[in-house]
Structure 1
Amino acid sequence: MSHPVFVFGSNLAGRHGKGAALFARQHRGAIYGQGQGRQGNSYAIPTKDANLRALPLSVIKYQVEVFLTHADNHRDEQFQLTPIGCGLAGYNHEQIAPMFASVPDNVILPDEFEAVLSA
């Protein structure tokens, strides 16, 4: 059985050097230099710009919507979401989780986001 698609926070420069992004590059086919979208068995959602500064929440929300459309259009696959934006980008779960309030049923949310959304 194949792994779900690993969904991680990235930067627009595609420098997958730390955290979930590094894991995605080492184990799930993320491509160094590609900062967004499907890559191997992973999907990058930008949370930082090309200079590694946190993107505004409005830009992250747009990128989340692009991902949700992709997941909705690929119902034959499962997507395992990490708590994007809540590590190196510096946002908290309460700021990011609501962006995922209406996920398709093939997206597995991290426990931290589930806790916020069910509160």
Structure 2
Amino acid sequence: MAAVFVFGSNTAGRHGKGAALFARQSRGAIYGQGEGLQGNSYAIPTKGQRPDRSLYTLPLEQIRAGVDRFLAFAVSRPDLQFEVSPIGCGLAGYKPEEIAPMFLGAPANCQPAVEFSPV
């Protein structure tokens, strides 16, 4: 089985750009599902949706909560390997040094993005 691709999403699951689009087109991400395992991918919300359907970047605390949920899931699924993309560092606009510490202590079945290694 191929590794599960972990990508930054928006809470509405509108996988239309960046890593989310790749996940939808190539890894089974489900349009409309903003978080969790879907196909051969796992979505971590980095953006939210306003009532007018516009998207906004989530605060770091909310992203950390999503990362924590993902890490708990990864621990519960030692049978899967996870390739973590540089979530939050593309369309959401954060820097790797802001996101990488959230993955410290990740289980052995998680391969963090190379962008996170210097941190």
1:96 maps to what in 2? 99
Give percent identity, aligned residues only: 63
Aligned residue-pair number: 115
List runs of 5+ in structure 2 lacking aligned partners.
none
2:59 maps to what in 1? 56
Whole-Å separation in 2 of the counterparts to 1:107 and 1:55: 23
SS at match of 2:75: helix
SS at match of 2:115: helix
What value does the CA root-mean-square deviation take over the aligned residues? 0.6
SS at match of 2:93: coil
Is 1:4 the counterpart of 2:3 in the alignment? yes
Alpha-carbon deviation of 1:114? 1.3
Q: Deviations over 1:19-64 (max 9, x none)?
A: 1100000011100011000101100000000231000000000000
| TM-score normalised to structure 2 length | 0.95
List runs of 5+ in structure 1 lacking aligned partners.
none
Aligned partner of 2:36: which letter?
G
| TM-score normalised to structure 1 length | 0.95
Matching of residues 1-119 of structure 1 within 5 Å: 2-50=1-49, 51-116=54-119
Higher helix share: 1
